[in-house]
Structure 1
Amino acid sequence: MTHKIAILGASGYTGAELVRLIAGHPNMEIVALSGERKAGMAYRDVFPHLRHLDLPDLVKIDEIDFANVDLAFCALPHATSQAVIRELPADLRIVDLSADFRLRDLDEYEKWYGKPHGAPHLQPEAVYGLTEFYREKIRAARLVAGTGCNAATGQYALRPLMTGGLIDLDDIVIDLKAAVSGAGRALKENLLHAELSEGYHPYAIGGTHRHLAEFDQEFSRVAGRPVRVQFTPHLIPANRGILVTVYVKGDAEKVHAALADAYKDEPFILTLPFGEAPSTRHIRGSNYCHIGVVADRIEGRTIIVAALDNLTKGSSGQALQNANLMLGEVETAGLMAAPVFP
């Protein structure tokens, strides 16, 4: 069976990544691509690297006939997604890549995003899209909320350690390096080559990054009590990739064993041999996440390092993995391509 797919917001980086991945899917066909500012343009003119594909031209969302669509990926900006999704057919399967349905508590959404939720009646049915931990709920869902790419990376490093007393839950530091594509395709002065290259920029210092809301929600849920982590992201002059270094109190060998056991059957999460650390070079363009554990020189302290591609496993690859579950496809379909190196 071939599933008819629409991608809303296809003129951005995550939209293009979805097109690239779905092009290799055996049972999906893209029937509609939206791009409000680029409506009417051929997709090959917006993304020449995909010119070999036979794709529909970009249109406005209200020009799409959703009666001919089995599932829609919504790769629109935050807040825009809520306004669009609430107007879509009530039986349409949707994977949203924005932050609009990630937070279960509507007050928390307003606190972190500065405005009331635009579709509160839909929030209760939204399933958080961290595939490895919500697989069965995703399989039965109509609306899935993709995670933040930073939030996904940190959670893969830490979620299996949140129970059983393996680490001190009150002493966790997450130091994260993120490539520039995570900021989207819109023109921004601080992302100009002359201002970004040869530099390394911390931002959202002191606990203001919105992905902290996901850490608070998910870690507290797993631990069964409030968990608050220290988190500082840094912008690096690279196109793709996230590398997170997490500092915890706990026995390194036990931490490694717990992660290895938690992910031993996961197709996309690889725990490296004890003492090895991953690199963004080794997951580029793929749906894989590599995790390493190293003992600190200070007894009882452990360093966990995780790497994934923010556009693939952190966003569009995760979205396709979830869509496969929602449509009854093999979970790994369209996602088994090896990383690109060098």
Structure 2
Amino acid sequence: MVLTLVEHDNGEVDDVSLQALTLARDVADDTGESLEAIAFGPEAEGIAEQVGAYGAAVLNVVDDSDLDDYAPEAYARAVVQCAEAADTEAVIAPGTDRGAETLSHAAAKLDETMAAEVTDVDVGDTYGITRQRWGGTLIEHAELTADTNLLTVAANEISPTESGDGAADVSAFSPDLEDGDLRVQLSRVEESDIEGVPLGEARVVIGGGRGTDGDYSALEELAEQIPNAAVGSSRAAVNEGWRPHDDQIGQTGNKIAPEIYIAAGISGAVQHMVGCKGAENILAVNTDPEAAIIQKADWAVVADLHETIPEVTEELQNRGLAD
């Protein structure tokens, strides 16, 4: 059996979980095994039809009052016990923060290797995997050999496709938890108070780095003139406390893919470029003609962003391009 961890919210399966189900279904077909899913919470039963449409024959529902709050070690314990009960060949999780954390704990409990950011699996005597490294700048081909193969699916690299099957059968699963499994729990999620278009969905992204000196007013004014635009930042700016982590673009932040990325006062470190490599075009504004971002950009303006960005904003206003 192949088991897939599924995340959901208000009766809707998370997109990356659908991608994980799609890859897991291919693995199950190649091995001749059945596909099952595991989900947590009282609302999990409501996703049986959706996970069934993506090939899961059974949905294992963990509805335990001790797990009303996310507890990574407890989630991992439940996944491990569910996998062991069915003699599972592989456990596949979405490449989200929660999916990766849960599966890494599961790997520790099983004393097995976990492969992260997988985009393809070739099943033979071993699992031949293709996975991303360094945020997708390096593609690795490797073999995964274990009693239980554990892997997470790289987000947004697999197109989710339905199998046309009916709703999955629902099976209640009650894990045997230990006291230590609940020592870490998520009690609340702090929502960002920054309004506007999410960075991952913006058509135009204007990023500011150390060169802003903490003043993002010019960048925000420019974003207001452009439909579907958002303001982001470099890690350096976040470390300085100028912008929240939600605004960070890079390997440990957001991955963006706008039509144009305007990088203002950003040096262009490799970690930052990992986050913006999906941009169709990059316009760099920097006073340093030797900055790495200048070399990597499609267009470059060697000038002070505090002078250049307001001029661009004024020109848009004069041309009436905001509409």
Interval containing the TM-score (normalised by the shorter chain):
0.3 to 0.5
**Higher relative contact order (CA closer than 8 Å, sequence separation 6+):** 1
TM-score (norm 2): 0.35
TM-score (norm 1): 0.34
State which structure, 1 or 2, has the greater radius of gyration over its C-alpha atoms: 2
- Name the one with the larger strand percent: 2
